[in-house]
Amino acid sequence: MYSSQPSPHERRKSRFKKWLSKLFKAGSANNGGLGEGNMVRPPFKKNEDDHYWAGREKGELDQSIASSLAKDSQRPNGQKKPGTENDEDLARSLHDNLNPSKEPPYPPPYAPSCAPWDYNARGCRKCGGCQRDIGSGNYLGCMGTFFHPECFLCHACGFPITEFEFSLSGNNSYHKSCFKELTHPKCEVCRQFIPTNGAGLIEYRCHPFWSQKYCPSHENDGTKRCCSCERIESHNTRYVSLGDGRSLCLECMESAILDTGDCQQLYHSIRDFYEGMNMAIDQQIPMLLVERQALNEAIEGEKHGFHHMPETRGLCISEEQTVTGILKRQRMAVRGLVGIRTQPQKLTRKCEVTAILVIYGLPRLLTGAILAHELMHAWLRLKGFRNLNPEVEEGICQVLSQMWLESEVIPGSRNMPSTSTVSSSSTWSYSKKGGKSGVENKLGEFFLHQIAHDASPAYGAGFRAANAAVNKYGLRRTLDHIRLTGSFPL
């Protein structure tokens, strides 16, 4: 049998391996881990035996390193024994592990780069909320940052998030309910969250001018819609019923014209507007404010003419008829307007135009726009414009309606005279200085929007063709061309 004694180098290497084995064994037994994901960790507790063995191993390692360095220093010219460089590097590495420096350790490899794990100079976890040490208490790890449980707050309401599920947006955390309140649209009619459709998408309706968002169901569930501005009645407002199936919102009600006497002043001011453009109407044409039913009956009695569907709000008639007009202003009641007084009136034909009828209860600016439109029909008939197709006649009438609205809402536009200086009725929403209120101006902008975006062939496409001709050639030259050709100039 042969035997041999291990060399000093091998013995030293064996001792290092034993220390290394003990160190990994102790490290695996005491591994507390960092907070992963959104887990709450309890504080790690070490027993007294762990402290004892850790101190003993540290002392043995220090003694071994000191002995090895002393032997090397005794060699001539400071030469080191071959093969000891790696041993010394390993010893220093183990010494550094048992004697950590004051620099903070590296973050764990799974920590997001956008929010680094925070440690203080002593290597303790640092709360991302209060910026204080977490110490030995419970903590939560989220988005690569540690938090005290009471410091993990909702970015919207400011209260701690205690639920297992929550929402994230960027680097901000939210309660799921708070996040839904911020991001999920609510219906402006019922004030409930707009439901999702069968595909899981949020589907809603939005008014193109007022941007009123509402559930699609409100278009068919009987919810009232203002007959003037088209806004749908919301849960905290009540519209005024006009008694004929129409309803009016409170903003439109402020300047509504409710009887024929109240409308006469506006009617004459619009006739003055035509005269200011050298388009005076010489005949005295009667004007009546009528109910919906009376207007429909007058439409049936008219032998010719194109009417805006689904509902006509004004009419220039040429036939002799008996029409029921509204003579007395109504008063407000809980259920709507009451006390309406009407009187049948026989309209006889004294010229090409018998009368102008306008449905009652509309705001001043909309009533005026309808009157301006119907007066243009009257002017065309009185001036001998015959057999015009609906696109041409309704289109040029809409241009005059738009001109009058612009003169009221945008003073100075197209250098047209304004009728704002005419004294107003007590029901019109004028300020003390004689100007219109902001609410009425906004309504005027909406009525202009309606004219410009009408989708019907006559009132929509006809207006846009007429407006382009007037902008290019002027109103007078456009009218002369219509008289000669029955069409708009190109």
Give dist(CA 37, CA 165) in Å, integer: 12
Q: Is residue 91 a contact partner of residue 98, using CB atoms and an 8 Å limit?
A: no
b/e burial code for range 126-151 (CB count within 10 A of at least 16 → b): bbbbeeebbeeeebbbbbbbbbbeeb
Q: Is residue 154 a contact partner of residue 178, using CB atoms and an 8 Å limit?
A: yes
Give dist(CA 409, CA 430) in Å, integer: 13
- The pTM is what? 0.62
Q: Is residue 181 a contact partner of residue 163, using CB atoms and an 8 Å limit?
A: no
Q: Is residue 72 a contact partner of residue 85, using CB atoms and an 8 Å limit?
A: no
Contacts 24+ apart (CB under 8 A), 418-424: 419/266, 419/269, 419/270, 419/272, 419/273, 419/368, 422/265, 422/266, 422/269, 422/272, 423/265, 424/265
Q: Token pair for residue 359?
A: 């449905």
Residue 375 is predicted with a pLDDT of 95
List pLDDT tens digits, range 65-80.
Answer: 566 556 655 655 545 5
Q: Is residue 181 a contact partner of residue 174, using CB atoms and an 8 Å limit?
A: no
Give dist(CA 365, CA 440) in Å, integer: 8
Residue 188 is predicted with a pLDDT of 87
Give dist(CA 347, CA 324) in Å, integer: 10
Give dist(CA 16, CA 154) in Å, integer: 52
Give dist(CA 437, CA 430) in Å, integer: 6
Residue 18 is predicted with a pLDDT of 66
Name the 3-class secondary structure at 187: coil
Q: Is residue 350 a contact partner of residue 283, using CB atoms and an 8 Å limit?
A: yes
Name the 3-class secondary structure at 208: coil
Q: Average pLDDT across each block of 10 residues of the chain; the chain has 490 residues. List them in order.
A: 52 62 50 40 46 56 60 56 53 50 40 45 72 76 79 86 80 83 84 83 88 90 92 89 90 91 93 94 89 84 57 80 63 58 58 86 95 94 90 96 94 54 38 63 95 93 96 95 93
Give dist(CA 381, CA 252) in Å, integer: 32
Residue 248 is predicted with a pLDDT of 94
Q: Is residue 263 a contact partner of residue 363, using CB atoms and an 8 Å limit?
A: no
Residue with tokens 């029909």: 377
Residue 330 is predicted with a pLDDT of 58
Give dist(CA 146, CA 35) in Å, integer: 8
Give dist(CA 483, CA 387) in Å, integer: 10
Name the 3-class secondary structure at 347: strand
What are the DSSP E strand ranges found in 3-74? 40-41
The H or E element that residue 141 is part of is: strand 139-142
- The residue among 9, 156, 157 whose CA lies nearest residue 90 is 9
Name the 3-class secondary structure at 247: strand
Residue 303 is predicted with a pLDDT of 60
The H or E element that residue 51 is part of is: helix 48-73
The H or E element that residue 168 is part of is: strand 167-169
Residue 106 is predicted with a pLDDT of 40
Residue 41 is predicted with a pLDDT of 43
Residue 298 backbone phi and psi in degrees, to 5: -65, -35
Give dist(CA 168, CA 154) in Å, integer: 10
List pLDDT tens digits, range 363-397.
Answer: 999 999 999 999 999 999 999 898 899 999 999 99
Q: Is residue 313 a contact partner of residue 359, using CB atoms and an 8 Å limit?
A: yes
Give dist(CA 441, CA 398) in Å, integer: 19
Average pLDDT, the chain: 74
List pLDDT tens digits, range 13-28.
Answer: 666 666 556 555 544 4
Domain positions in the chain: 140-183, 185-250, 255-410+438-485
